Structure 1
Amino acid sequence: MAQATVPATDPSVYSAYQDKWSPLPTTSEDWINRAREVAAVLSQDAAQRDQENKSPRAEVALLKHSGLLKLLGPRKYGGGEQPWDVAYKAIREVAKADGSIGMLLGYHLLWSTTANVVGTAEQAERTHELIISNNYFVGGAVNPRDSDLKITSDGDQLVFNGAKFFNTGGVVSDLTVLEGVLEGTDQHIFALVETRQPGIQFAHNWHNIGLRLTESGGVKIDNVRTPWTEALGWDASTKQPRQDVLGVPFASLLLPTIQLVFSNFYLGIAIGALEFAAKYTTSNTRPWPFGGDNKDSATDEFYILERYGNFFAHLRATEALADRAGEKLAALYARYTSNRPTLTAEERGEVAEWIASVKVVTTDVGLRVTNGVFEVTGARATSLKVGLDRFWRDIRTHTLHDPVAYKNRELGRYVLLQELPTPTWYT
């Protein structure tokens, strides 16, 4: 079945950055600065691109030119070999300018390192070499609430059939992570496959209010085959899960890791909204002439100063919390990647609750700030041409991914009962 042709941005518009951003950054601060440089490019026309809603092929090319797709990979294959706390800060910087591209970067970094967490050491090495040496972008057809992607075994191959309602970044990816349940079992399998093949058919139906450039629409999977050796964390000879890989708390770190990806692009979007609104207020917002304490400038009005100060304080506190959680998770990876079975359930649970705290706060503060900035910019700031609305639309869209009320409940049980969260697809 031929794939539909959809409007897409032109990668050639960013071709000059391929040479400009060579070689790769070397230090952690250099990597974060590179993310800021990418954000500066994206900010120039972010509102226009959001409204045009074209498939982000150019934006993915820009990420490739920047080297950010390689940030977490081993140096021996050409990667940056940075820890996750640096990756989170890079995601945040990109999301300040464009929430969609910050989200795509975050998901790529997660999916490109999934083998580190749920795969064998050999699978992790092979995956890194493939992705980094080719500068591949990785999407994911992973949505555990959908149970309609089935896996069957056919000799030395796995066969995927079914669909996923959500599939982030797949349309513009080189590789796609597939996830489903092996027939006759309740066991899930992750595997990376080439995206450009007849059996992967995208619905091109992502027409949501926010994160419009993430290509998060549906996908049909029709007889997609991959060797059993690509089943992450499974023994290809016995066709059984490797208990030394999947049977330890380390494998369940994948879920807190992606939850903190979410929180960091929420935080980046919220900070970006405040910075964008501040520029608008200083240049365009008019003072209110009927308040009885009239000012010559909007930036002298008490309520505007008070709101900006309050938003800034809450975002600064949220950023400190997110950084601390990122450091704690990165420390677990540094300590246990080469000795996975020694990570305890208690250590995993504690870091999961740090990350749950970040999820609650970034959701609450992010929605409050991206909604509240309209109160201090004025009615004219609602113009689509201004583009201030995209920040709220982006956060509102993704914070519905998994209900934050359950994170609050989880934290309540942790505080009152000292109960560690049971690892799930969302915990």
Structure 2
Amino acid sequence: MRTLVLGSGGRESALAWALNRSTSVTELVCAPGNPGTEGFAATLDVDIADPDAVVDAARLMAADLVVVGPEGPLVAGVADALRAAGVKVFGPDANAARIEGSKTHAKELMDRAGIRTARWSSFDSVDKAVAFADELGPPYVVKADGLAAGKGVIVTEDRETAVEAIRDCLEKDRFGEAGATVVVEEYLDGEEVSLIAVTDGSTVVPFEPAQDYKRAFDGDRGPNTGGMGCYSPVPACPPDVAERMVHDVVEPMVAATRAAGAPFSGAIYAGLVLTAEGPRVLEFNARFGDPETQALLPRLRSDFGELALACAEGDLAGAQLEWDEEVCVGVVLASGGYPAAYPTGLEISGLEAAAAVDGVEVFHAGTARRDGTIVTSGGRVLVVSALAPTFERARALAYDAASRIDFEGKHVREDIALKAQISERSNA
């Protein structure tokens, strides 16, 4: 099976890595890929947000399957164009991807389907948004309605910061069209869990839960990021709770998109909070999570290529996934300054030494090749994922590998999966 992967981030690195292990994949191409994927996949320089260019690329290589990684191309209609051209694609059409492209749209679908979420409302007026925030009280939660690379969410106890976040979107145009509307919602207290499933619009095949770390600094301090680390499985979300979330959250959303005339095919991601009253939804995404993918796929024993193709062909009925009993911890190595301004073009050393650590995979995210040297090119530069029998061991391996990699300003959270390790010890 000739397979084309669209994207260049850490998620796409992990998707390509899993596809490369598939017995059904005979040729693998990444567009544009990164220095990490160059070791096992060909690269293709194409504008992945341009549907026509992607169709041309797929035809050029006679792709049997195209796997779309990032949300941007999905919202831009790349999957629509591929399907119209007769190319099998893993990823939802643009209309279905609106569950991520518009938080207001997703909340409306949730309300219609009876999916439990936070009390919320959306606004294009600063005064009305502030009034609703005052009604809800602290902690305040303000979200840009559209795509903002994981940085459009502000959670704060400080009213002035919340008001400034509203003004940033509606008056200062900080997020452009994505911030033309803001969602203000109730704060949900509890552990966050990411639940990802693959669906062909009818059958839902869930992955095991994962937990990521959104804040920039240890102790969940600092601004929101795209994610600073992740682990799987999640001790706080045992199988019975995960099954209930699939039944009460994911399956109803898949049914809601179908009822709305936008059947969903691809990876659907539910971000939830385990509140005292039970799981409630924070958000839906229309693709695999990043960095969740880097902590999930190393544990997946099933053939990911076969799974992706079955999804694209609408043939998931009866599919079940097999998981490694070992745990996985993924640690993000970020550029200094991220998620605000950060330098690029900084030389990276120690990659081979890190990859030599037992049980470790190094997934490139924001890297580039310059004059034969690998340099930084993004905020989240690398993800080091370690597979081991225990969280204590997986953390030790991941942080050992991360310590071997160096670039100027490197920033790493030191508490990834620490909660899971503590839980593991208390239950021993």
TM-score of the alignment, normalized to the shorter chain, above 0.5 = no
Q: TM-score, normalised by structure 1?
A: 0.26
Structure label with greater radius of gyration:
1
Q: TM-score, normalised by structure 2?
A: 0.25
